[in-house]
Structure 1
Amino acid sequence: MSSEQRHEHIETVVVGGGQAGLATGYHLARSGRPFVILETGGRIGDCWRERWDSLRLFSPARFDGLPGLPYPGDDWSFPTRDEFADYLQAYAAWAELPVRTGVRVRRLSYDGTRYVVETDGESTYTADNVVVAAGYDRLPKVPDFAAELDPDVRQLHAVSYRGPRQLADGTVLVVGAGNSGADIALELSASRRVLLSGPHPGQIPWRIERRVSWALTPVLFFLFRHVLTVRTPMGRKLRPRVLAHSAPLIRVKSGDLKAAGVERVARTAGVRDGRLELADGTRPEVANVLWCTGFRPDVSWIDLDVFDADGEPVQRRGVVEGRPGLYFVGRLFQYAMASSMIQGVGRDAEFVVRHLAGRTGRAPVAARAAGSRKPSARGAGTGVSPG
């Protein structure tokens, strides 16, 4: 470690300035706890700005607000990628959260007394508590056999996809039929033949954007938050499937894909002689392959023995009981189906902060209600465009 590096002690370090980290910051501020949020991106919201150009959230704006500040605009619109990124940036300013951008954490360890958070810059932090809110979608998952595909076939993972202009002329095989795969397949179908590979993940049985369905949609999100949890038999049964596969289609429906000419094909099983082979033995001629096969979390920088054989932290509602002072927020099905969703991170963050405050024990600094200079609940003064 360079002698020029700066050392700073802060009671709590939150790693990650996305929706999970900001929600955690909101509750820490309300509790009067000293903390800092470290965000890799140059701006708050860059994790959203770097996704595909036409992305809209799969949930209506009514369910896209973080604690204390509803998302502005029409409750039943679907915010774009950039609109939601701007909302996150405005949220951090509204709540007066101490976010330090452009800071990449390269190692988290424990020195026997305190946690040590090392960054790629000139600062090293020690902390009594660390909240890992770095996001679940960090490392793209691509099958090993992708390397055997003919180099003339253009390959992209969804993390690198921005729009149809990146693809070669000709047929595209979208591998992965979840919400992202369905959304991208629908976009690509306007300009080329599209094959969609993978099992159908199911879909909610109504049009979420239609006025007639507005009474049903809150029920869906209630189920995600309160029924499908690790405390219920139904939630415990569903959790392994969600971790391994995908959530049901929410906005795009099978009928939309069929009407657009998207052709459903069998699961992609491997590569033979440079060509992809599907589970039914067919080998489609394609010019492009777009892997919508999900992500896995990057935990390589966490130098602590807190993970099980599957790489999941051993935690209860985000609390790592075997390592006091360490917490997780925003992981897939951490506590409920909604845990990694925008409308679910606030509850998990509140639980974690309540535990953290109780553990820390000493009197907090003078509490300041986050967002004490609160603008209109509809976003006046935030600079956020309506969804």
Structure 2
Amino acid sequence: MNRSTYHTVVIGAGQAGLAMGYYLKKLGKSFIILDKNVEVGTEWSKRYDSLVLFTPRMYSTLPGLILKGDPQGFPTKDEIANYLKVYAESFQLPIQLKTEVTRVQKKDSAFYIETNWGEFQAANVIIATGPFQKPRVPDFANVLSPDILQLHSSQYKNPAHLQSGNVLVVGGGNSGAQIAVELSQERETYLSVSQKIKFLPLKIGNKSIFWWFDQAGILKASHDSWIGRKIQEKGDPIFGSELKKAIQNGHIILKNRTVHSRETVIHFEDKSTLKVQNIIWATGFISDYSWLNIEGVLNNIGKPIHHRGQTEIPGLYFLGLPWQHRRGSALLQGVGEDAQSIMRHIQTRS
């Protein structure tokens, strides 16, 4: 088998992998970033057409390169996709695309990364595949009538992709909120949530609420700090007022948690039912590390065991995980700090 040897292999060329590349280049050791997509930024460009970030440009940048435009304005998903391409080109990061990792194992002090383009050997491996790996959809979705059009939020593009009739959006996160608002402008729309929705404005005065978070130290709060624990307990709010207004105007009808279904009828926690023609599952993602063939890295529910990205396996790291160190660890504005921390740890091993 063809084998290439590097000091460090990064798996994933999304925002986390690119930020890692920026710092690895400063380290001066050989490295390569592997990604299964055909170009950098694909994961952003293929998301729904109307996606706009709720973090402003000044908090949507990677280390070393600002995102052009109004710092207090909110970038589109295509803007971010293009920014990632420019970022990779600006720092001439060594990226090998169309390369899917099928297995990672460790023998003695070296890692062996098997891909569809041969094998790689490295002293360090950084898994930067991000939190959006495998769409999460409830099991009962499989027994729904084929007359219902079902899409996960990662498959949804725009209202034209739906069939005629009403739509139920399941999931009360910011993606579900944006999609529901968009659909409510042209059809009967329902939104199923598991708990009371908390709203926060996108701006206070003429500044983003994230600017105020930054001033208050919230963005820098670690996952195990008092502030960090409280934020995690409460969960993420819905940013902006569009959903709140649509609910108040009756354009979106709120429903309780979706619990099961039969044919074309959805059953909710409060015993109410709804016959639907379209469903958007904005129910998030689950981790998929089936290709990681190293014991002691994942817990009993398949999540990485780590401290700020460092695992108990020398030379193996994770980057871009939600709350890896702080709230923004999985976001553009926070991943750079974690990447720098990992680079420093690798430097001590070199």
Is TM more than 0.5 here? yes
Candidates 39, 43, 46, aligned match of 1:43: 39
What SS does the aligned partner of 1:354 have?
helix
Q: Which residue of 2 aligns with 1:377?
A: none
In the alignment, the residues of structure 2 paired with residue 315 and residue 18 of structure 1 have an alpha-carbon distance, to the nearest angstrom, of 20
Match of residue 276 from structure 2: 286
Q: Structure 1 CA distance, aligned partners of 2:230 and 2:293?
A: 31
- Which of these residues, 150, 153, 165, is aligned with residue 158 of structure 1? 153
Match of 1:265 among 239, 255, 258: 255
Shift of 1:273: 5.1
Instruction: Kindly state the Cα deviation for residue 93 of structure 1 after the two structures are TM-superposed.
Output: 0.7
Secondary structure of residue in 2 paired with 1:284 = strand
- 1:144 corresponds in structure 2 to 139
What aligned pairs does 1:213-232 form with structure 2 within 5 A after superposition?
213-214=206-207, 216-221=209-214, 223-227=217-221, 229-232=222-225
Residue in 2 that maps onto 1:127: 122
Deviations 1:71-97 (A, max 9, x none): 001112221111110100000111111
Are 1:33 and 1:357, in contact at CA under 8 Å, matched by a contact in 2?
no
Residue identity in the other structure for 2:336: G
Corresponding residue to 2:303 among 297, 312, 315: 312
Aligned to 1:236: 229
Q: Distance in 1 between matches of 2:36 and 2:214?
A: 30
> Are the structure 2 counterparts of residues 201 and 298 from structure 1 closer, same or farther at C-alpha, using a change threshold of 3 Å?
farther
Please identify runs of 4+ aligned residues in structure 1 that moved more than 2 A.
221-225, 236-242, 251-260
- The total of aligned residue pairs comes to 346
Q: Deviations over 1:168-219 (max 9, x none)?
A: 1111000001100000001111110100100244222x332x6x14174313
Structure 2 residue 47 is matched with structure 1 residue 58: no
Name the SS for the 1:152 alignment partner. Answer: coil
Amino acid at match of 2:145: D
Mapped to 2, the partners of 1:252 and 1:156 lie a distance apart of: 25
1:17 to 13, 19, 44: 13
Q: Is the 8 A contact 1:52 1:162 kept in 2?
A: yes
Greater strand fraction, Structure 1 or Structure 2: 2
Shift of 1:272: 3.5
Contact in 1 for aligned 2:218/2:227 (Cα 8 Å): no
> Residues 354, 47 of structure 1: CA spacing in aligned structure 2 closer, same or farther, 3 A cutoff?
same
Which residue is equivalent to 1:174?
169
* Separation (CA, whole Å) in 2 of partners of 1:109 and 1:120: 15
Task: Kindly provide the amino acid, as one letter, of the partner of residue 176 in structure 2.
Answer: G
**1:138, 1:64 → 2: CA distance?**
21
Q: CA distance change for structure 1 residues 217 and 274 in 2, over 3 Å: closer, same or farther?
A: closer
CA RMSD of aligned residues (A): 1.7
CA change 1:120–1:167 in 2 (3 A) is same
SS at match of 1:10: strand
Whose relative contact order is higher, 1 or 2, with alpha carbons under 8 Å and at least 6 apart?
Answer: 1
The gaps in structure 1 that reach 5 residues or longer are 361-387
Structure 1 253/310 Cα, relative in aligned 2: closer, same or farther at 3 Å?
farther
Q: CA offsets, 1:292-340, max 9 Å, x none? A: 00001211111112111121111000011x2000001101111111110
Percent identity of equivalent pairs:
36
Letter in 1 for 2:116: D
TM-score normalised according to structure 2 size: 0.94
Contact 1:108 1:115 in 2 (8 A): yes
Question: Is the 8 Å Cα contact of residues 207 and 213 (structure 1) preserved in structure 2?
Answer: no
**Amino acid aligned to 1:239:** Q
| Matching residue's letter, 1:232 | S
Q: Note the residue ranges of structure 2 that are not aligned, 5 or more in a row.
A: none
Q: How many angstroms apart in 1 are the aligned matches of 2:81 and 2:120?
A: 27
* Counterpart pick for 1:352 among 337, 342, 350: 342
TM-score by structure 1 length? 0.85
